[in-house]
Amino acid sequence: MKIIVGHSNMDLDCIGSIVLARYLFPDYEAVKSRMIHPVASNLHNMYQNHLAFLNAKDLEGQHVSKMIVVDTRTSGRIAEYLDHIENDDFEVEVFDHHPADDKDIPNAIIHEKPYGANTTQLGMEIIKQGIMVSPEDATIALAGIYADTGNFTHLNVTCEDFEVASFLIDSGASMKLVSHFLQPLRKKLQISLFHQVLNSLEYRTIQGHIIVTSYIGLDEESSGINAVVEKVFEVENTEVYLAFFYIKKRKKLLIVGRNTKANIKLNEIMGEFGGGGHPQAASAVVKTENGRPIYNQILEYLGKILLPAYTASDIMTEDVISLDENSSLLDASMKLEEMSHTGAPVLNEQGILTGFLTLRDIMKGRKSGQMHAPVKGYMTKKPITANLDSTVREIDDFMFENNIGHLPVLDDGRLCGIVTRNDYLSFKRGEQMKKQKAYDQIGLASGTV
């Protein structure tokens, strides 16, 4: 007997991976976990007959010769299947996208790619082999990709995730059904918990990073907690969110994290407490009489491992072209045109910033025939500015909230630099390139499909 299995408590990406793995290994039987993650329960219920998964108990008395494992490389997460297999001489092949997790499945051949979704790895091989996929399976797989990439917003999203998603849509995947399966808050209990969490949020700044946390005590375990955390993270639009749920009767602390920072790896943090996941999304469960000490411990740990956030001094242009407030609009226009600038800060005779002039301001003077008027009569007075230690997140807020493309940077009140849209976008592109380089290194050190 040859089988395909995923991790315990199967989520949408795990199910999507199994569905596509069956196309690559058509003579294998798919076996489901006894636990289906709440975010995947609706899809599993709807497609239960189509999926036709075996149960782990069906492996009893069977001789397994080969096993395909998807979306995990850790033996503990497939223990429920191993417990029912009597022989131990079977071959194991793993398809996973969690490079930080333990590789403790004996003699396993591991194929790993750092894609946003594990489903993508199987999808790329299907595309390579020219295999056709049914609309039903395309829908299931597409839901897995959307779920594990945070609707293509997580930092680990790759071009391949989009490529496989496009292939699945071409194969007839239903976006309407995918949207239906991804609706996060369906139950009244989830909605109630969502509002409870919102009212308990705490904000703190650690090394310039905005960290949002919540701590909730629950009498009983509640399904769909991850969906609540995802929704809070989406609504708050924060950099790092750590949600702590202490289950009183079970005496255990559930920790769920979401993150947009490239230099924060939640899977490593959760790994210290027996959990795992991705750098951007991870969780852990800790048996404890009191959850608060662990809550404090994690915050202290963040203070030690976090590098200072990037600031204006890291991304600004230091050589600033400035204008004299007493020069004419005509002279200012010629200077901006010569430098190919769309605007510049304005200084007085003492070198103090007094305003900002843009081509739009000059256009107003030109239309009114006032090109010989002084700059100070048309400039924007009291411009929005940043300090040297303003974080990139704060710079983003300054530009977005005020709809500006130039942000003068001050040091003790004196102009020392400027952040433009190009500076900001170049910094973001640089972060993406560094991330991709790290992923490429992982890929080179790993097996390939």
For 313-426, the fitting CATH number among 3.40.50.2300, 3.10.580.10, 3.90.1640.30, 1.10.3720.10 is: 3.10.580.10
The pLDDT value recorded for residue 212 is 94
Pairwise CA distance, residues 416 & 424, whole Å: 17
439 confidence band (pLDDT: 50, 70, 90): very low
Evaluate if residue 290 carries a pLDDT over 70: yes
Evaluate if residue 434 carries a pLDDT over 90: no
Residue 21 phi, psi (nearest 5): -60, -30
Run of H or E including 338: helix 329-339
Nearest to residue 415, comparing CAs of 310, 350, 320?
320
* Comparison of pLDDT for 236 and 116, the residue scoring more: 116
| β pairing state of 380-381 and 386-387 | unpaired
Question: What confidence tens digit (pLDDT) does each residue in 395-431 have?
Answer: 988 998 888 989 999 998 899 999 998 898 888 777 6
**Among the residues of 154-279, which ranges form H helices?**
159-170, 175-181, 188-198, 225-236, 266-271
Task: Enumerate the CATH 3.10.580.10 domain ranges in the chain, comma separated.
Answer: 313-426
Run of H or E including 204: strand 202-206
Task: Enumerate the CATH 3.10.310.30 domain ranges in the chain, comma separated.
Answer: 188-305
84 confidence band (pLDDT: 50, 70, 90): very high
Q: Burial code of 63-86, b = ≥16 C-beta within 10 A, e = fewer?
A: ebeebbbbbbbbbebbebbbebbe
Evaluate if residue 443 carries a pLDDT over 50: no
Q: What percent of the chain has pLDDT over 90?
A: 61
Mean pLDDT score of the chain, rounded to an integer?
88
The pLDDT value recorded for residue 408 is 96
Q: How many whole angstroms from its chain centre is CA 320?
A: 35
The pLDDT value recorded for residue 209 is 84
- Compute the average pLDDT of residues 53-60: 95
Lowest mean pLDDT among 178-187, 382-391, 429-438: 429-438
Evaluate if residue 31 carries a pLDDT over 70: yes
Nearest to residue 442, comparing CAs of 156, 159, 163?
156
Question: What confidence tens digit (pLDDT) does each residue in 125-181 have?
Answer: 999 999 999 999 999 999 999 999 988 988 789 999 999 999 999 999 999 999 888
Residue 117 per-residue DSSP state: S
Q: What percent of the chain has pLDDT over 70?
A: 94
Going from the C-alpha of 417 to that of each of 135, 327, 388, 390, 439, the distances in angstroms are: 55, 21, 9, 12, 33
Class of domain 2-183: alpha beta
Task: Enumerate the CATH 3.90.1640.10 domain ranges in the chain, comma separated.
Answer: 2-183
The pLDDT value recorded for residue 110 is 93
Evaluate if residue 435 carries a pLDDT over 80: no
**Among the residues of 130-158, which ranges form H helices?**
135-148
Question: What confidence tens digit (pLDDT) does each residue in 339-383 have?
Answer: 889 999 999 999 999 999 999 999 999 999 999 999 999 999 999
Question: What confidence tens digit (pLDDT) does each residue in 310-349 have?
Answer: 899 999 999 999 999 999 999 999 999 998 899 999 999 9
Evaluate if residue 42 carries a pLDDT over 70: yes
Evaluate if residue 442 carries a pLDDT over 50: no
The pLDDT value recorded for residue 400 is 86
438 confidence band (pLDDT: 50, 70, 90): very low
CATH T-level topology, domain 188-305: Diaminopimelate Epimerase; Chain A, domain 1 (3.10.310)
Pairwise CA distance, residues 217 & 223, whole Å: 15
